Amino acid sequence: VQLQASGGGLVQAGGSLRLSCAASGSIFSINDMGWYRQAPGKQRELVATITSGGSRNYADSVKGRFTISRDNAKNTVYLQMNSLKPEDTAVYYCNADLVTASWAPPYDYWGQGTQVTVSS
């Protein structure tokens, strides 16, 4: 199983970016999917999660600015980031709580990370 993230880059404050993360490989089902981020010198923190049914959860720092969505048919999760701030600068990681077979327990998989840099 692989999670491939894309869409990071350099943007000015107030700008927008859209991250994508596609899961591929031996996938039976996917439960929660989400995005986390890690800034230099800081611990990895939750940004947003979405259940298979579409229920969303956001960190307070991104509420009203970021929107998480998913396409279950494509095993893909998205993060639309608007009104970006310099403090949003971090490496963003996607995550999937995923089942590889009917008999297998769920397991957390992580993408490779994509850099988001917001200049002031």
User: For position 99, what pLDDT does the model report?
Assistant: 96
Tell me, what's the pLDDT at 61?
97
Which DSSP letter does residue 41 get?
Answer: T
For the chain, the farthest-separated pair of C-alpha atoms sits apart, in whole angstroms, at 50
The letter for the amino acid at 35 is W
- C-alpha 118/C-alpha 66 separation (Å) is 14
What's the confidence (pLDDT) of residue 35?
98
DSSP state of 55: -
For the chain, 120 residues long, the average pLDDT of each consecutive 10-residue run is: 96 98 96 97 97 97 98 97 98 97 95 96
**Backbone conformation region of residue 40, classed left if phi is above 0, alpha if psi is from -120 to 50, else beta:** beta
- Pairing verdict, β 56-58 and 76-81: unpaired
> Is the sign of the CA dihedral 51, 20, 80, 114 positive or negative?
positive
